[in-house]
């Protein structure tokens, strides 16, 4: 069976990102500020090339909520199609018009992960809480992520996948106080992408018998790629040709398609092509009172699996 050409496109995008990283890295010690700016523009260009043209992609700005409070400076922001042209060059971006926001690093370190998890929570606390469905109550209106060209776990005995996951979980337990505050995406261009996932009713296993379900509870988890040792073919992500950028774009499109139904056909295509590969993660369980009384009362009867973009589904980003 022939391979989807989309894999080649993602491979080319990954190669370009790597070449740009090498160029940036050579100049980092001379001028770290300019190197950081170039890195941000690389990611902004990727989104301009792959997201629908109606999104505006800008760099360096703060998010302004309806009460006048602002976020820390954000490196890359994706703005809604309805965002006022008059304000595009302002560096205070209205929260109601921000679709996604990203911190960018050239070489990822553990402290960057902790800081991104903390900022993701802070940004969500600026936004109004939504009620009415599990999806609305577990998600904010802004997708938040961390992007990096590479990482500093390069010694032969290093375990970069484990390091990312360990620091993600550590940061989450320190800073994330509600599922809506979860860091949505972490992409290291030359390694892998991790995506935050949420479930309103996830099975709780008996620790002494993993085949036994002892209850159900809301849960969040970071899905990282399956490793070479976990797959029969010995490939990251469970698919030949897996790229972190392919996984990033697949997940970002799924996020944006909740609010932009015209994107759902393309998002489904990316998913069905398996460009994002397979993943796995460990669940963090939450008390049921994260939900409103109305949603708690309906959870047992309204949950349904297998319906894309269904706000009462078993799993969503």
CA dist., res. 184 & res. 317, Å (int):
7
pLDDT at 27: 67
Question: What are the distances in angstroms from CA 3 to CA 54, 185, 246, 305?
Answer: 30, 26, 14, 29
Q: What is the pLDDT of residues 41-72, one digit of tens each?
A: 999 999 999 999 999 999 999 999 999 999 99
Yes or no: say if 194 and 186 are a contact pair by the CB < 8 Å rule: yes
DSSP string covering 123-141: HHTTSPP--SSHHHHH--S
The domain spans of the chain are 5-302
The answer to whether the beta carbons of residues 180 and 137 sit under 8 Å apart is yes
Q: Is residue 126 within 8 Å of 144, Cβ to Cβ?
A: no
d(CA 12, CA 127): 37
* Over residues 210-227, mean pLDDT: 85
Overall pTM surpassing 0.85 (yes/no): yes
Q: What is the largest CA-CA distance in the chain?
A: 61
What is the C-alpha to C-alpha distance for residues 254 and 258, in angstroms, rounded to an integer?
7
Instruction: Note whether 231 and 242 are within 8 A (CB).
Output: no
Whether the per-residue pLDDT at 287 is higher than 90: the answer is: yes
Distances (CA, A) of 301 to 151, 290, 304, 305: 45, 18, 8, 12
pLDDT tens track for 98-110: 999 999 999 999 9
> Which tokens belong to 38?
């170039």
């Amino acid at each position: 069976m022939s391979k989807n050409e989309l894999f080649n496109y993602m491979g080319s995008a990954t190669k370009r990102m790597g070449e740009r990283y090498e160029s940036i890295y050579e100049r980092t010690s001379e001028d770290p500020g300019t190197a950081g700016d170039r890195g941000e523009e690389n990611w902004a260009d990727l989104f301009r090339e792959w997201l629908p043209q109606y999104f505006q992609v800008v760099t360096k700005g703060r998010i302004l909520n309806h009460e006048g409070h602002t976020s820390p400076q954000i490196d890359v922001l994706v703005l809604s199609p309805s965002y006022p042209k008059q304000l595009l060059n302002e560096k205070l971006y209205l929260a109601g018009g921000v679709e996604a926001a990203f911190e960018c690093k050239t070489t990822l370190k553990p402290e960057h992960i902790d800081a991104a998890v903390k900022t993701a929570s802070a940004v969500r606390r600026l936004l109004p809480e939504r009620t009415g469905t599990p999806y609305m109550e577990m998600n904010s209106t802004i997708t938040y992520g961390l992007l990096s060209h590479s990482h500093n776990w390069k010694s032969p005995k290093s375990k970069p996948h484990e390091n990312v996951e360990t620091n993600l979980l550590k940061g989450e337990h320190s800073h994330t106080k509600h599922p809506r505050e979860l860091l949505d995406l972490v992409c290291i261009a030359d390694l892998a992408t991790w995506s935050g996932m949420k479930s309103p009713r996830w099975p709780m296993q008996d620790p002494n018998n993993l085949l036994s379900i002892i209850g159900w509870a809301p849960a969040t988890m970071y899905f990282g790629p399956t490793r070479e040792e976990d797959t029969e073919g010995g490939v990251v992500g469970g698919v030949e040709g897996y790229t972190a950028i392919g996984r990033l774009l697949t997940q970002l499109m799924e996020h944006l398609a909740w609010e932009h139904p015209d994107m759902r056909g393309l998002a489904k295509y990316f998913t069905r092509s398996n460009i994002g590969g397979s993943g796995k993660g460990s669940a963090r369980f939450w008390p049921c009172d994260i939900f409103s009384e109305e949603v708690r009362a309906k959870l047992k009867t309204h949950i349904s699996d297998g319906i894309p973009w269904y706000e009462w589904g078993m799993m969503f980003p």
